[in-house]
């Protein structure tokens, strides 16, 4: 039952993404840009933290 719910959730998500891309490609591009910016910011924060730890927390 749980596996089927996961499959349904993935299919719904894929259909939603395709719908957004087809109906408003510019907005879909904005969403992708926002997502990648978030990933970039998170990676930068992790790098800053690792540098801080490597320097002895100073």
Q: pTM higher than 0.85 for the full model? A: no
Question: Is the distance from CB of 28 to CB of 20 less than 8 angstroms?
Answer: yes
Q: Cα-Cα-Cα-Cα dihedral of 50, 51, 53, 56, to 10°? A: 170
pLDDT one-digit tens code per residue, 15-31: 998 998 899 999 889 98
Q: How confident is the model at residue 2 (pLDDT cuts 50, 70, 90)?
A: low
């Amino acid at each position: 039952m749980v596996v089927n719910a996961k499959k349904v959730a993935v299919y719904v998500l894929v259909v939603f993404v395709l719908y957004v891309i087809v109906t408003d490609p510019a907005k879909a591009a904005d969403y992708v840009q926002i997502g990648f910016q978030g990933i970039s910011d998170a990676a930068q924060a992790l790098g800053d933290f690792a540098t801080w730890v490597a320097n002895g927390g100073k």
